[in-house]
A and B are shown apart, each in its own frame.
Chain A
């Protein structure tokens, strides 16, 4: 197991950080979060084109860069650090992996190059009104009509679903239950019968949409009725990716809290000299470092094809959610009154932390699943 990033990976991280510092400073995040589309197409084009990040972990034969999950994870970590507003999570992490996991060779060749180049924006629609990301919660149906399928149902919490060109949908055969009868489908964002509604989200830097399907014509992705396995694998990868994104944000709020504690003077001394503040910072460091360990370990395990990956995904998601929420909460507290203002950036991270805590399942849910994966 890899416990350190290689020199090349460190260099790669520095390059991404520089790029994001230039293109996604807080002023830009604030500008984009107020828009409906939620990202800047010219920045997206650079990120995908010059930087090649949209295809980072997509194999070369499908138009990608052919790196592994560790590089994808550290890219997400840096994006979490800068709160990048872009459909990266939806397209590169979720949609591309769903297609890789579920699709046939021909479908991968057809669908992935567009996502790898960034010209196509993909997303993955799994959860519905119940807000659960698992097989049981899928009630959207797919009825066979000749060679094609018709989708009916309502998907929710679809990241960047309002902007996606290519929506990967998980639906079931009418009358099936649980893991049976699940399949993946692909529809275009502009398909007839698909209504898309941008949801008002707690975290305005991450756009969520509700997608209503009424007899929408869809292409089957992969094998009919065999969707449960690729779904679980895709959700594991999404959880590990999200865990890595979260520690990027957690590290950033820790740094800003510590920086503020060094410079803010009260009672004639920097507030960081008070043990009440210093000790809270020390505790945060411990929690954030342990969360990093969980996120990095899970990413390396995913890369190496570890058999325990579903458990590790749960462990990482739960640990990093808790660490990020606590770090963001503490950072506001350490900033005091100014931390509660709109002008200060901490609330942007706080909102991302809270939203990510629930996204893909709460920490409690993941801890319960962790035990079940371990046969406990």
Chain B
């Protein structure tokens, strides 16, 4: 067999799509064909629903799918993360059992990492798993879980050894969500939405075979999951773009997309809606106010300079130059921009900022901005953690001395369970 080239791959995948893709199939029928063909995950190994292609040829395949308007494998939030983690750390049994239903969309997954007592310090988690014969017994609580209420499986981090330093006592489990010891409750946020769950474990059971990686080596496995988190947004954007076609498969796909996207409805407001500030200042007449004018000018400036900084980082990447400091600043910049936009919205709205829902400006949208922006500097790494990362990895400042290094986790101060 000759080495695949761009041309040969394009020809092969195009022919396969011509012969197999039809929007009149049911979504599941189509996805099963797709998974078994290997074209759904072309960069995965041949043994595991892939075709062993390099990243660059993977792009050729996605391009062909886009041209054909064909639906890809399922890729909702936690589900994608589970797939890449299992592929990298799973046993052959785990891979053959778990991966295919992920790709077809039959199984959805959720991520059980954060806890009420460990947010920024994720490795300080205290959910415990104790071995009882052939089963692990899990007790504890997770939080900020997306879609836990309809997930079949969860990726769970739990502490299995309390006598070693915190990173060394963690194990990564695959847990069945539909069992008596697992309860998912909606978690209502300050903006009224309930996009996440709290998940309570009370003597939940996990077979020994469901450890992903080795016992006590869960932190390393978790890093794989976390490393792929930032690619999620791209995946979801392409899902929404690709869901506009006609036919049975598309009807079912749109339902899936709507369910995946549901928790993120308020995210544009979380980012501050700087795009609306000028329009609002004009329609309220507040644009005549010199103080508002300064705020508007600062915001418009910040939007442009942050975008240009991102462009500089991208231009350097394209040229293959080593990443400069400008590449690490995006999250902190977005957070500052969101806060500045919220302040401007409040100032422009004046007394109307006291109103929400149908009585509030833009039918409650401005109120939702004001009440959603506080999340942007917390979710996905707080501004404080971002500043630590920038200070330490970009500027080379020394780390803060930690008092938990080298200590048995049992002896480290921790939050009491409520």
| Separation of A291 and B304 alpha carbons in the complex (Å) | 11
Of the candidates A258, A270, A296, A319, which one forms a contact with B395 in the assembled complex, judged by CB atoms under 8 Å apart? A258
User: A282 with B390: in contact, given A319-B301, A368-B293 (CB under 8 Å)?
Assistant: yes
Chain A residues positioned under 8 Å from B390 (CB to CB)? 282, 285-286
- The CB with the most chain A CB atoms within 10 A, among B293, B296, B336, is that of B293
| Separation of A345 and B189 alpha carbons in the complex (Å) | 50
Nearest residue (CB) in B for A261 is B397
Which of the 9-residue segments B57-65, B159-167, B218-226, B308-316 touches chain A? B308-316
| Separation of A286 and B334 alpha carbons in the complex (Å) | 11
| Separation of A240 and B399 alpha carbons in the complex (Å) | 38
Q: Does B394 contact A (CB under 8 A)?
A: yes
Which of the 9-residue segments A51-59, A87-95, A273-281 touches chain B? A273-281
SS class, residues of chain B in contact with chain A: helix
User: A293 with B398: in contact, given A282-B386, A367-B297, A371-B296 (CB under 8 Å)?
Assistant: no
Taking the closest CB of chain B, its distance from the CB of A77, in whole angstroms, is 15
Nearest residue (CB) in A for B398 is A273
Q: Does A364 contact B (CB under 8 A)?
A: yes
Q: Does B387 contact A (CB under 8 A)?
A: yes
Taking the closest CB of chain A, its distance from the CB of B155, in whole angstroms, is 31
Nearest residue (CB) in A for B314 is A3
Q: Does B234 contact A (CB under 8 A)?
A: no
> A279, B391: Cβ atoms under 8 Å?
yes
User: A272 with B391: in contact, given A4-B312, A289-B325 (CB under 8 Å)?
Assistant: yes
Chain B residues positioned under 8 Å from A32 (CB to CB)? none
> A3, B315: Cβ atoms under 8 Å?
yes
Nearest residue (CB) in A for B326 is A289
Taking the closest CB of chain A, its distance from the CB of B250, in whole angstroms, is 38
> B397, A273: Cβ atoms under 8 Å?
yes
| Separation of A269 and B398 alpha carbons in the complex (Å) | 9
Give the A interface residue count (CB, 8 A).
Answer: 37
Of the candidates A262, A283, A296, A371, which one forms a contact with B397 in the assembled complex, judged by CB atoms under 8 Å apart? A262
> A315, B304: Cβ atoms under 8 Å?
yes
Taking the closest CB of chain B, its distance from the CB of A38, in whole angstroms, is 33
Give B323-346 interface residues, CB cut-off 8 Å to A: 325-326, 329, 332-333, 336
Give the B interface residue count (CB, 8 A).
Answer: 45
Chain A residues positioned under 8 Å from B306 (CB to CB)? 290, 293
> B398, A270: Cβ atoms under 8 Å?
yes
Nearest residue (CB) in B for A312 is B304
User: A272 with B398: in contact, given A278-B392, A290-B305 (CB under 8 Å)?
Assistant: yes
Q: Does B287 contact A (CB under 8 A)?
A: yes
Q: Does B406 contact A (CB under 8 A)?
A: no
User: A315 with B301: in contact, given A3-B311, A289-B309 (CB under 8 Å)?
Assistant: yes
| Separation of A155 and B130 alpha carbons in the complex (Å) | 83
Q: Does B133 contact A (CB under 8 A)?
A: no
Chain B residues positioned under 8 Å from A371 (CB to CB)? 293, 296-297
Q: Does A145 contact B (CB under 8 A)?
A: no
Of the candidates B278, B304, B308, which one forms a contact with A376 in the assembled complex, judged by CB atoms under 8 Å apart? B278
Taking the closest CB of chain A, its distance from the CB of B306, in whole angstroms, is 6
Q: Mark A87-112, 1 if CB is under 8 A from B, else 0.
A: 00000000000000000000000000
Chain A residues positioned under 8 Å from B294 (CB to CB)? 364, 367-368
> B297, A370: Cβ atoms under 8 Å?
yes
Nearest residue (CB) in A for B330 is A286
Chain B residues positioned under 8 Å from A261 (CB to CB)? 397
| Separation of A370 and B298 alpha carbons in the complex (Å) | 10
Q: Does A47 contact B (CB under 8 A)?
A: no
Q: Does A297 contact B (CB under 8 A)?
A: yes
Q: Does B401 contact A (CB under 8 A)?
A: yes
Q: Does A318 contact B (CB under 8 A)?
A: yes
Give A207-235 interface residues, CB cut-off 8 Å to B: none
> B397, A278: Cβ atoms under 8 Å?
yes
> A376, B296: Cβ atoms under 8 Å?
yes
Chain A residues positioned under 8 Å from B326 (CB to CB)? 289, 292-293
User: A296 with B312: in contact, given A282-B386, A318-B301 (CB under 8 Å)?
Assistant: yes
Q: Does A154 contact B (CB under 8 A)?
A: no
Q: Does A194 contact B (CB under 8 A)?
A: no
| Separation of A368 and B329 alpha carbons in the complex (Å) | 27
| Separation of A289 and B306 alpha carbons in the complex (Å) | 9
The list of the 3 closest CB pairs from A to B, nearest first, reads A278-B391, A367-B297, A293-B308
**Which chain B residues have a beta carbon within 8 Å of chain A's beta carbons?**
278, 282, 287, 290, 293-294, 296-298, 300-302, 304-306, 308-309, 311-312, 314-316, 319, 321, 325-326, 329, 332-333, 336, 384, 386-388, 390-392, 394-401
13 other A-B residue contacts (CB within 8 Å) besides A262-B396, A286-B336, A292-B309: A258-B395, A269-B398, A274-B400, A275-B384, A278-B387, A278-B395, A281-B397, A282-B388, A290-B306, A292-B326, A318-B301, A367-B298, A370-B297
